[in-house]
Amino acid sequence: MGIQKPTWLEALYTEKFFAPCSIHESAKKNEKNICCLDCCTSICPHCVMAHRFHRLIQIRRYVYHDVVRLEDLEKLIDCSNVQAYTINSAKVIFIKKRPQNRQFKGSGNYCTSCDRSLQEPFIHCSLGCKVDFVLNHYNDISPFLRRCTTLQLGPDFFIPHDMADYDTANETAQSTIVDNDEPWGSSLTSGSSSGSENMMLMSTTNNFPCVRKKRSGLYVCGRITINSYNKNISDEDMATSMSRRKGIPHRSPLC
């Protein structure tokens, strides 16, 4: 007895895609257009974080049928002799059969399972047609399967706003350093403790630290030179010099 269809392949064929996600009913862009090959289920973009370490493949729509990018599918199974179509400069393959009724058989190639007219040299119109053909003739699909341990979504995949804000918040938290927790906080101030509030020490360049001070809801950024650091300029003086405004401009007298 040969090896039957793997579970992820069965999920691609039986799962219902582009239906609203029951977990994120109130969220926007909640169509289930992703298949988790490890969980063998369809998920929406908001579910990606819970499956981020799994093998994920994006499902697309073409003429009201589910398709998968040929580049992604070839990492999982041999897709030779399956006719591909081009969508947005990317080749895709239909997942399920697309039977076509025809009265006479002319010249050219036809699908081995559903008799759909094909271009040469293809003999399968979809992934499902090839899988059925292999099982009927060889009774074993394992020679056509490929080992794939990691499979991530493409760079053009849509990321919901809540996920983007989550990632941005993590990056900001990692890149921002509060000077109260670092030795710089005590070395930059001299005798003034109130001026160290709302001070943040950002990344340094050429050994010149950049200090950002929050004043009236806005951030004012200025650089500390070696001379000013050695002179122990207070925080209030530095903030005053950074926030100093120009005077009212005056026109030159008419001659």
150-202 pLDDT, tens digit each:
998 877 776 665 554 444 434 433 433 334 444 434 443 444 444 444 434 34
Residues 36 and 153: their CA atoms lie apart, in Å, by: 11
- Mean pLDDT of all residues in the chain? 73
Q: Is the pLDDT of residue 46 over 50?
A: yes
What does pTM read for this prediction?
Answer: 0.60
Q: What is the pLDDT of residue 29?
A: 87
